[in-house]
Structure 1
């Protein structure tokens, strides 16, 4: 029997709490390569549900899945200089095979814009061949100096969408549409509210004209970039000669986009909803939505019979269930369910069966509800919906309660130190952003599409210039 170790309280040390709950909750193990992790069944089950549900939403807007090679020839990556410069410190290089030096270096993909660029140039001839809206679910490698499970690992899983279009307008519309899909998905399925907006010039994706982002607030106040959508314009189509005959029969370069989310969404989920007992998985994305626990089954044969019947009934209502019919102690079973973040558990014991009922315990509030065995599926469905909604509303309240406005740099530093997000008028440049980050640890997260709070000041807190631009700053993962 695996012993459940003590979890460090969030208030004591949030970083240690995070490590404790992901290891106790059987989410991951460290890989043989430093900075890599092994996704255990629970974490991969969550990712699988993200993939299946998000993929369905992609296909509804015309996305088609493909799969491109892992290796990128150096000559290909050199074609887009800004892109190469942005990833250069993290590139892993293959230089020899079987002890023999290769004539050209190959890079393990950190992202696939260049691969798609090379592929797209041979796929189109005229505007009738466009748009091409492709996506792949793959692993990528970035040799990060500092790693943190799920949040920043050297190898991680993601989806990366790449598209080309016959017009700038069409490409920009898709860039916006994909961000909306991400925002709605993360809100509806992961129960994580986000701020959507545009990255500053300093923080945008290397090689993009502009980058849209969704930013989530973790329980420690830090921001986490949960998804991005980039308008690439002709920055990749020109170097790769991706051109087509337009309606006037003239040759024109196509317009590109790229967009993606990764397994850092697992980190976002854990740090948005988890508590001192472990993780809490929103029902809509949970691989196991209900744990059924048998109590004293060895003393009363009704227990196993009823527990099995409940399991079958819930499965018939498409509710994901796990039955614990082991002879482990009741306390261990309950704690095991909680540390794994199962949204709801049902305890089946002789005393409650005498009343023709079972005990249901919500993972989010730990509230206990006695419910009749008859029509148990209806009760469970209602509670799962309530849990999903409560997780979202709690996180939403926390987000909006922790965004503050400042009017000067001293206020800024004070609020950042308290773990708040700061919304402020800002007219600074990239050098200013770098200086602010060096001095406070806070970076620009986005220029929000809609202001989350009412603002009263239109003077930049840093440059003291008048500004119509409001930016969210925060410390971030």
Structure 2
């Protein structure tokens, strides 16, 4: 299965693209720039959805759904927002087709032009805030905490499965608040929710920070983010949370009667993560044999592969396998028994290594005699024989899965720390980016001109100003002008 998979060290991009396809996660569709998420890939996304949805509801949010289409005039109401998305919008201009008189299929009916063109949702702030105008009249209606699971379209010229596609899946939270303080608290709260999910479930260490003015979301006052490090030394923005101020409330005239009897504009936030998390999961952990999935997100946490030469041996092994499966499922551990006789055990071993199944159990006739099983870990590729007379199998496997989850996280954290460098001179800065890659912590004078010049010369962008960054005066790594603190630069996806 993994034979011929390109090596990360030789061609990281090709390795990634091939792994996504060979592990049955996704493939390019007949629609340019769009992807088909295959069942195995979608089952990982479902586990992400389920956990995130649980975390959102625990923080008081409810799900709703809003239309896919947005009137073009809505995007004109918030100037910076429309400017940020105008070049990515897909536009619906007609509502009907008709038969081509030449007999060659169908054409757009020129008599069916829409009075107002519709934008295929690139993000939903405008449509949702136009709706909130009807939902919010008083401070008693606040806070309004809504989330939407949906698809969006942003027209991309250069696409890559999961990382950047014309259509992708995501969730977008949109909340309305009585005060600025409450809105900022919500923005930061959801950033911490994303970070907790990334670290505890994806086993992905992230840096929480604030975007520069240039990099913030179009229409936001402030954008917060979580940034992760991939194995090729490039950064990946894994989630964002935006403090919108009163920008969209003013654009759509969303006011509320205050406790004091006045009338004020509502304060807003929005926040989202997407199927880009699938790309992060793959690139942060996987190896030259295939996927390495953290147990908490693996569709199959344990696979049992029987070793047999006859129907009689398979029948005997199946009895023990079923006992183990029942015990594991009682502990809410997902397990599969692969008793196909069309593939040999070695082929199956390679298949499940490629698909990143965290733990593999092999059972054969000799194991039955010894009342033992062979356990193989995907993260370390190590094996051990376990005597079932001496070990409670569910406790053993629960312990191993927890250890695998922690080991994957620790490995990714150690890699990120090794790939984080402080640079105080321009020469150090450029050399680090070219020879070591990763995050570069350096002083910046705070001006967009310097930020743009650094990007132009090195292709590195300011990923964030870390929230835990200590104030430190110094000189900008490029301009040598005064700086109040370091920021993280990196080349990124």
Q: TM-score range by the shorter chain?
A: over 0.9
Residue of structure 2 in register with 1:471 after alignment = 487
Q: Does structure 1 residue 210 correspond to structure 2 residue 222?
A: yes
Residue of structure 2 in register with 1:313 after alignment = 327
Residue of structure 2 in register with 1:240 after alignment = 252
Residue of structure 2 in register with 1:274 after alignment = 286
For the residue of structure 1 that corresponds to 2:232, the secondary structure is coil
Are the aligned partners of 1:297 and 1:349 in contact in 2 as well (CA < 8 Å)? no
Distance 2:490 2:297 in 1: 28
> Counterparts in 2 of 1:78-477, with a 5 A limit?
78-98=76-96, 99=109, 100-296=112-308, 298=310, 300=313, 301-327=315-341, 328-373=343-388, 375-417=392-434, 418-451=436-469, 458-477=474-493
Structure 1's consecutive aligned runs of 4 or more residues displaced over 3 angstroms after TM superposition are 454-457
Distance 1:437 1:146 in 2: 19
Distance 1:455 1:19 in 2: 41
Are the aligned partners of 1:202 and 1:429 in contact in 2 as well (CA < 8 Å)? no
Unaligned runs of 5+ in 2: 97-108
Residue of structure 2 in register with 1:66 after alignment = 64
How far apart are residue 303 of structure 1 and its match? 1.5
Q: Which moved more, 1:344-353 or 1:295-304?
A: 295-304
Distance 1:197 1:229 in 2: 10
Deviations 1:384-430 (A, max 9, x none): 00000000011111111111111122211111112121001111422
For the residue of structure 2 that corresponds to 1:220, the secondary structure is coil
For the residue of structure 1 that corresponds to 2:173, the secondary structure is strand
Are the aligned partners of 1:407 and 1:457 in contact in 2 as well (CA < 8 Å)? no
Distance 1:297 1:442 in 2: 57
How far apart are residue 458 of structure 1 and its match? 1.6
Unaligned runs of 5+ in 1: none
Distance 1:274 1:430 in 2: 36
For the residue of structure 1 that corresponds to 2:268, the secondary structure is strand
Distance 2:456 2:478 in 1: 14
Distance 1:421 1:189 in 2: 23
Q: How many equivalent residue pairs?
A: 473
Are the aligned partners of 2:151 and 2:169 in contact in 1 as well (CA < 8 Å)? yes
How far apart are residue 432 of structure 1 and its match? 2.2
Distance 2:279 2:387 in 1: 37
Residue of structure 2 in register with 1:56 after alignment = 54
Are the aligned partners of 2:256 and 2:263 in contact in 1 as well (CA < 8 Å)? yes
Distance 1:456 1:429 in 2: 17
Distance 2:449 2:92 in 1: 35
Are the aligned partners of 2:472 and 2:485 in contact in 1 as well (CA < 8 Å)? no
TM-score, normalised relative to structure 2: 0.94
Distance 1:306 1:109 in 2: 52
Deviations 1:132-157 (A, max 9, x none): 01000000000011111001111100
